[in-house]
Amino acid sequence: MAKKLMKGNEAIAEAAIAAGARNFFAYPITPQNEVGEYLSWRLPEVGGVFVQAESEVAVGNMLFGAASTGKRVFTTSSSPGISLMQEALSYMSGAQLPVVIVNIMRGGPGLGGILPSQADYYQATKAGGHGDYRVIVLAPSSVQEAVDLMILAFDLADKYRNPVMMIGDGMIGQMMEAVEFPKDYREPSNPDAKDWALTGAGGRAPRIVKSLFLNPEQLEKNALALGEKYKRVKAEEVRYDLYRVTDKNQILIVAYGTMARICQTAIDELETEGISVGLFRPISLFPFPEKEIHIEAVKPNIKVVLDIEMSLGQMVEDVERCVRGGKPISFYGRTGGIVPTPNEIKDKVRDLLGIKQ
Amino acid sequence: MSANREMIFKRPQALSGASTHYCPGCTHGIIHRLVAEAIDELGLRERTVGVAPVGCSVLAYNYFNVDFMEAAHGRAPALATGFKRCRPDMIVFTYQGDGDLASIGMGEIIHSANRGEKFTTIFVNNAIYGMTGGQMAPTTMPGQKTTTTPAGRDVALSGYPIRVAELITSLRTPAFIARVAVHTPMHVIDAKRNIRKAFRLQKENRCFSLVEVLSTCPTNWGMSPSASTQWVASDMMPYYPLGIFKDPEREEG
């Protein structure tokens, strides 16, 4: 299929169709409204379901009901809306329902602003709702990668019977880039093939989709089963990318999403000054590339690991955890919708290397 | 059973046979049975999905012999919406108490009704929070003593009880809305007729349907089961009148 110039939000919407998803529930919120607007005409074209809900609380719970059919279901929202879905995310995690949620992050806390941010890292990766659970989290750094990860998200959700969240900052949603969709779109999945889906108790015992286990032994058993699943996710689904990582690097930058792309520009420019910097870009934020970051960080040529985010520093805690004191860790970030520029990153790198400017 | 005897009364297929945890004198058991009978009589059991609430009937999924989902508090109509939109060929019902539906879940039920979602809601109104130990509900009667209104509900502080059937009837979207009671055999028969009609209209893909059922809570009302049934008639029914409030068949003449 030929490449198309598309806005990130619309490309994400089309990618869901390509993944065989036909059931979308959402509530309007900036900066991701193009997803819902696109799907409001696109889904009827392919016989799908589009519901504009009364709130994100309702959206999350509509997803619970919709996912219980065994069909592929999804929503997109932005930070304050994602906060309202945490109730349902906790319940869906407990009930092991496959669902895909996209967060096009904006600045917070509270109503915050509408400009790009990465300040929902904690919420996405550490269980934003109550209880012992984890959500698989993917972070694209281009519109094409958003398309690819959106399709992967549905596969992972089905494979693990678990919510999957794709988090992009407002820039991923709003910018236009050339994208390519798979030649063959997936057929919508068959609910009858799922031995847990609610298809009616005809010729079999009733099925129950629930997160309630009043007996503590049963609740612990359910939690342990979730724990085993998260271990498998950690073992099998780590994804990351390396950029200009060589044994000449003096500094290893760790950054994800749009921030990682801006770091690439800074790294290219520093290279022309004779300063060698490598980039470690986590693509899966849960599971976090724990071993892989450690291996790169402790290489003898690395003087400092520099974590850069569009937040006050959230992922940096995971980086510190993984490097385990093996190297000094530094952080640089802007927040509130301000995006660090390549010049700011270059200044920070020179500063760390003691290069007078 | 001897050959000259005929079975004329038995457990509906749509009930599981599990013993319920409900208190003596509580009418949840009757209402469960009426729902199950309606499902059986309309031949819907093998394509029905129920949605359990948070409250005394949180374990409803153990008592019905159909597929079930267990919702977050108040969100059963959102689950039902999501499910029914994806599977319009199936029959979906929510079973909710008054704290669940009329307090924390008011947004979900109003908007589901207003969109005309084609599922059925059985709304059990016993004027109190049962499971959490008898606190004031939005449906608690003026002056009624609860564990959070020990001097009786003060309408100057808490307002008047919400009449859910009337509230949803005010929406323009077509629906079937009725209020029934189950404190006497006569009322049970009438309740059954309305619950069955609610499911039949869903089977015909006609409209949203809600049947509000006035129920008892002897434990938290601090009354005997028989005094509770009398209180339904003497104190609840004057404020919560029975009847069909909205009926698509009546509107269409």
| Whether the predicted pLDDT of B253 surpasses 50 | no
| Whether the predicted pLDDT of A216 surpasses 90 | yes
pLDDT digits (tens, 9 = 90+) for A277-296: 999 999 999 999 999 999 99
Which residues in chain A touch residue B46, judged by CB atoms under 8 angstroms apart?
Answer: 200-203
Q: Which residues 79-118 of B have a C-beta within 8 angstroms of A?
A: 79-87, 90, 107-108, 110-111, 115
Q: What is the pLDDT of residue A191?
A: 84
Q: What is the pLDDT of residue A190?
A: 84
Contact at CB, A49 and B83, closer than 8 angstroms? no
Q: Percent of chain B, pLDDT > 90?
A: 97
- Tell me the nearest-neighbour CA distance from A24 into chain B, angstroms: 9
Q: How many domains would you assign to chain A?
A: 2
The ipTM of this complex is: 0.96
In whole angstroms, give the CA distance from residue A174 to residue B118: 37
pLDDT digits (tens, 9 = 90+) for A56-104: 999 999 999 999 999 999 999 999 999 999 999 999 999 999 999 999 9
Same domain, A225 and A248: no
Regarding beta strands B91-97 and B48-52, do their DSSP bridges make them parallel or antiparallel, or are they unpaired? Answer: parallel
The residue ranges of every structural domain in chain B are: 28-251
In terms of residue numbers, what domain contains A125? 4-193+211-236
Same domain, A286 and A138: no
| Whether the predicted pLDDT of A180 surpasses 50 | yes
Q: What is the pLDDT of residue A356?
A: 84
CATH number at residue A260: 3.40.50.920
> Looking at residues A219-225, what average pLDDT do you find?
96
Any domain includes A204? no
Q: What is the pTM of this model?
A: 0.97
The answer to whether domain B28-251 has CATH 3.60.15.10 is no
Token readout for A52 is 């504009």
In whole angstroms, give the CA distance from residue A139 to residue A281: 10
Which residues in chain B touch residue A210, judged by CB atoms under 8 angstroms apart?
Answer: 52, 61, 68-70
Are A191 and A22 in contact by the 8 Å Cβ rule? The answer is no
Are B30 and B15 in contact by the 8 Å Cβ rule? The answer is no
| Whether the predicted pLDDT of B135 surpasses 90 | yes
pLDDT digits (tens, 9 = 90+) for A98-123: 999 999 999 999 999 999 999 999 99
- CB distance from A23 to chain B under 8 Å? yes
| Whether the predicted pLDDT of B252 surpasses 90 | no
Chain pair A-B, CB pairs under 8 angstroms: 131
Q: Which residues 205-234 of A have a C-beta within 8 angstroms of B?
A: 206-212
In whole angstroms, give the CA distance from residue A139 to residue A240: 10
* End position of a domain, from candidates A220, A236, A252: A236
The C-alpha angle B69, B75, B76, rounded to 5 degrees, equals 40
